[in-house]
Amino acid sequence: MLLDINSCFATIEQQANPLLRGKEVVVAAYSNDNGCILAASKEAKKMGIKTGFKIGEARKICPKLIIMTPDVEKYRFVNEEIKKILLTFSPKVSTKSIDEFAIDFEGVEGDLKETGLRIKREINETLGDWMTVSIGIGANIFLAKVASNLKKPDGLEEINEGNFEEIYKKLKLTDLHGINTKTAYKLQVNGIMSPLDFYKGSRMELRSIFKSVNADYWYFRLRGFEIDAKERPTKKSFSAIYSLKTPVKNRQELAVIFYQLCLKVGRRCDRQKMEAKGIMWWGGGKNINVSGKLRKEGGMINGWEMFANIYPKIPEFSGEIRKVVIAIYDLRPKSYQGDFFGGRQKLIKKTEVAELLNIKFGEGTIFPGTILASKRVPDFIGFGQLK
Amino acid sequence: MMDFNHYQNKIKPIQIQWNNRDFRVEEVGMHHHFHQGNKLFHTFSVTAGGMFFKLVLDTENLFWKLEEVADGLPE
C-alpha cells in the first residue's frame, strides 16, 4: 500500500488555519516573485497552478493567491503522526518522502480497502477533517503508486490481477512513475504506445530498447514483483545546497552559510557512522564563483572539523553570492585516526561534546568563534527520498 | 486563558487577549509540538473572532507567545 498526502504542505496549512480552507493557497520557498512553489492547494491546482511555478507566474493566473512560507516543524509533526497511525496497522512502514509512505501488508490479514478507509478515518480524527490522503493498493510499491495517482484528492484505488490490464489500457506511458517524456518517446519509437503494450512486451524486446538492467526491472515491476523496496546501498557522498533569499556579500557571511551546511552534511555522515576524506565547496552568483576542494587522508569526522578545514581557504570576494553548496565524498567508516601530537584527538573530543550540547540545549548553543557575528540558515525540508 | 484536562493531560487555549480585545477560541485547527534542545514547545493554530492566531506555549516556564496573527486574506 502507498499513502500520499494530497498537496501536502498546502493541505497542512489549510488544516492548521481554517480561514484558508477553500481558498487558493500555495507554500513557496520565498514569498517574493522569484520564490518557487513547493505545494499548491487543490483550489490553486484547479486554476492551473502547479508545483515548480514561480510566485510571479502564479500571481498572474490568480491575483487572489495566498502565499505561505514553509513551517518545517509542522510538516515533520504531521509526517510523524501519520507514521504512528500506520504503524498500528502494519509493522513494516517506510517513509518514502515527507508526504509519502509505503506500507507492507504481507502476512497481515483483512481486506486492504477496508484497512485503507480505517487509515483515512484515523488520520482525520487525529489531525483534522481537512487532511486528505490518496491511498493506492498494489502487489508492489510501483503498482501501489500508480493506483494512488488514479484518483486525487482523497482516493482509494486498488490495482489487482482482475483490473490491471484495464487500467494499463487507460493510462499513458508517462503516467507510470519513472517514465519521463524521453523514455516514453524511446518506447513509442519501438512500437510500445501504452502501458499495456509495455506489459505485453517480451523481456528480449525490452532489453533491446533499454540496453540495461532497467529492462528487467520494468519487466518485473509491471508484473507485480517487488523491485523498489530494496535497502539503498551505503551512500558514497553527501551534499547540501542552499539558495539564499538575501545574497551574501562578504567572506564572513559566506562562512556562516558554509558552517551550517557543513553541520548538515556532517550529521548525515555521522548517522551512517562514516567520515569523509574529501570536501568540496562552492558559492556562486552573477559573474562570481567561489569554490575549492581539499582532501584529508586522516578523514574529517564531523561538520565542525569539515568547517575548520575549509574556513581558512574561503577567499575574500566582491559581488553577490546567491547559491551555496557543500559536498563531502570519499566516505569510509569512522576511524578516529589521531595525529602524533594529539591535536586532532582534542578537536574530535571537543566538537563531539559541542554537538551533544547543541542537540540537548538547542541549535547554536555552542558555535565556532569565527562566526560570532552570525545569522542562522533557516531549517529547510527536502522533497526527495529520505536517506 | 486555557483549559487543562488533568485526566487526559491535555491543554487547550480558550480565550486570547490581544490589542485590548478578548477573542474566544472557536476552533483549534492544529496542535503540534516541537523541541528546541530538550525544551518542549506546544503550538496551537486557532481561529477566534474571525482571525487566525498561532500560539506557542513554552513548557519550561509556561509562558505563551503569540507568534502569528492573520486574517486569511491575500497580502
pLDDT tens for A263-321 read: 889 888 888 888 999 999 999 888 888 999 999 888 888 888 899 899 999 999 888 99
CB neighbours (10 Å) of residue A224? 15
Annotate A339-356 with b (16+ C-beta within 10 A) or e (fewer): eeeeebeebbeebbebbe
Note the pLDDT of residue B36: 83
If you average pLDDT over residues A374-380, what whole number do you get? 54
| pLDDT of the residue at A61 | 92
- Return the axis-axis angle of helices A303-310 and A343-361, rounded to nearest 10°: 120
Contacts of B73 in chain A (CB under 8 A): 66
- Within 103-142 of A, beta carbons closer than 8 Å to B belong to 127-128
CA distance A179 to A134: 21
Place of cell 519521463: A180
Partners of residue A19 in chain B, C-beta under 8 Å: 47, 50-52, 70-72
Mean pLDDT, chain B, rounded, equals 88
**In this complex, which of A18, A63, A359 lies closest to B47 when CB atoms are compared?**
A18
pLDDT band at A35 (very low <50, low <70, confident <90, very high): confident
What confidence tens digit (pLDDT) does each residue in A13-31 have? Answer: 999 999 999 999 999 988 8
State how beta strands B51-58 and B63-70 pair. Answer: antiparallel
Eight-class DSSP state of B53: E
In terms of pLDDT, which residue wins out, A230 or A244?
A244
Rounded Cα distance between A156 and A136, Å, is 6
Confidence of residue B57 (pLDDT cuts 50, 70, 90): very high
B12 beta partners: B3
pLDDT at A356: 85
What is the per-residue pLDDT across A80-107, written as a single tens digit (0 to 9) for each?
999 999 999 998 898 888 889 999 988 8
B36 contacts in A (CB within 8 Å)? 362-363
How much is the average pLDDT of A242-271?
87
Strands (E), A115-251: 133-137, 156-158, 238-248
The 3-state DSSP composition of chain B as helix, strand, coil percent (nearest 5) reads 0, 70, 30
- Quick one: how far is CA A190 from the chain centroid? 34
User: What pLDDT score does A360 carry?
Assistant: 82
- CB A188, CB A174: distance < 8 Å: no
CB pairs under 8 A between A and B: 61
Mean pLDDT of A335-352: 83
Q: pLDDT tier at A340 (50, 70, 90 boundaries)?
A: confident
User: How much is the pLDDT for B75?
Assistant: 64
Of A18, A77, A128, the CB nearest to B33: A77
Chain B residues within 8 A of A74 when measuring between CB atoms: 30, 32, 43
Taking CB atoms within 8 Å and a gap of at least 24, the contacts of B11-18 are B11/B42, B11/B57, B12/B44, B13/B44, B13/B46, B13/B55, B13/B64, B15/B48, B16/B46, B16/B48, B16/B53, B16/B55, B16/B66, B18/B53, B18/B66, B18/B69
Distances, alpha carbon A196 to alpha carbons A180, A181, A213, in Å: 17, 17, 21
The three cell numbers locating residue A90: 502494519
Angle between helices A214-221 and A203-210 (to 10 degrees): 140
Contacts of A386 (CB under 8 A, 6+ apart): A95, A96, A97, A98
pLDDT at position A387: 40
Of the candidates B34, B37, B43, the beta carbon closest to that of A360 is on: B37
DSSP SS3 for A98: coil
pLDDT the model gives residue A374:
58
Backbone angles phi, psi at B23, to 5 degrees: -120, 120
Q: Searching chain B, which residue's CA lies closest to the CA of residue A65? A: B74
State how far the Cα of B63 lies from the Cα of A158, in Å rounded to an integer.
49
At A240, is the secondary structure helix, strand, or coil?
strand
Residues of B within 8 A of A16 (CB-CB) are 29-30, 45, 54
Asked if B42 reaches chain A (Cβ–Cβ under 8 Å), the answer is no
Q: Which band of pLDDT confidence, cut at 50, 70 and 90, is reported for residue A328?
A: very high
The candidate with the shortest Cα–Cα distance to A126, out of A177, A53, A64, A77, is A77
The residues near B55 (Cβ < 8 Å, ≥ 6 apart) are B13, B16, B43, B44, B46, B64, B65, B66, B67
Separation between Cα atoms, residue A187 and residue A209, nearest integer Å: 7
Q: Measure the CA–CA gap between B20 and B17, rounded to whole angstroms.
A: 6
Contact residues for A329 (Cβ-Cβ < 8 A; gap 6+): A236, A237, A276, A277, A278, A279, A280
Cross-chain CB nearest to B45 (options A16, A359, A361): A16
pLDDT of residue A373: 61
C-alpha distance from B73 to closest chain A C-alpha (Å): 7
Q: Which chain B positions have a beta carbon within 8 Å of A76's beta carbon?
A: 34
- Residue range A331-345: mean pLDDT, rounded: 83
Is the confidence at residue A231, as pLDDT, over 70?
no
The shortest CB-CB distance from A17 to any of B29, B34, B75 is to: B29
pLDDT at A386 over 50: no
Give the DSSP H/E element, type plus range, for residue A207: helix A203-210
What pLDDT does A347 receive? 84
Contact A253, A314 (CB under 8 A): no
DSSP annotation of B61 reads T
**What pLDDT, on the 0 to 100 scale, is given for residue A252?**
86
pLDDT confidence of residue A107? 80
Is the C-alpha dihedral spanning A179, A181, A186, A188 positive or negative?
positive
Q: Do B72 and A12 touch (CB under 8 A)?
A: no
Inter-chain CB proximity A77 and B27 less than 8 Å: no
Contact state of B32 with A73 under an 8 Å Cβ cutoff: yes
The reply to whether A78 touches chain B by the CB within 8 Å rule is yes
Asked whether residue A376 carries a pLDDT value surpassing 60, the answer given is no
How many Å lie between the alpha carbon of A366 and the closest alpha carbon of chain B?
Answer: 12
Kindly determine whether residue B70 and residue A19, on different chains, have CB atoms separated by under 8 Å: yes
A360/B75 CB distance under 8 A: no
Q: Is the pLDDT of residue B10 over 90?
A: no
H/E element, A353: helix A343-361
Taking only the tens place, the pLDDT of each residue in A112-165 is: 899 999 999 999 999 999 999 999 999 899 999 999 988 888 889 999 888 988
More confidently predicted of A243 and A13:
A13
Residues paired with residue B54 on neighbouring β-strands, in sequence order: B45, B68
With CB atoms and an 8 Å threshold, state whether A66 touches B74. Answer: yes
Q: What is the pLDDT of residue A17?
A: 92
What is the percent of chain A where pLDDT is above 90?
36
CA distance B8 to chain A (A): 15
Once rounded to an integer, what is the mean pLDDT over residues A368-378? 64
Contact between B56 and B41 under an 8 Å Cβ cutoff? The reply is yes
pLDDT band at B66 (very low <50, low <70, confident <90, very high): very high
Spatial distance between the Cα atoms of B58 and B44, rounded to a whole number of angstroms: 12
Q: Mutation target for A interface from B10, B30, B56, B68: give the one with most A CBs within 10 A.
A: B30
Residues on chain A touching B45 (C-beta within 8 angstroms): 16-17
Surface of A (32-71) touching B: CB under 8 A:
63-67
Average pLDDT, chain A: 87
**pLDDT above 70 covers what percent of chain A?**
95
Among A288, A345, A292, residue whose Cα is nearest residue A320: A288
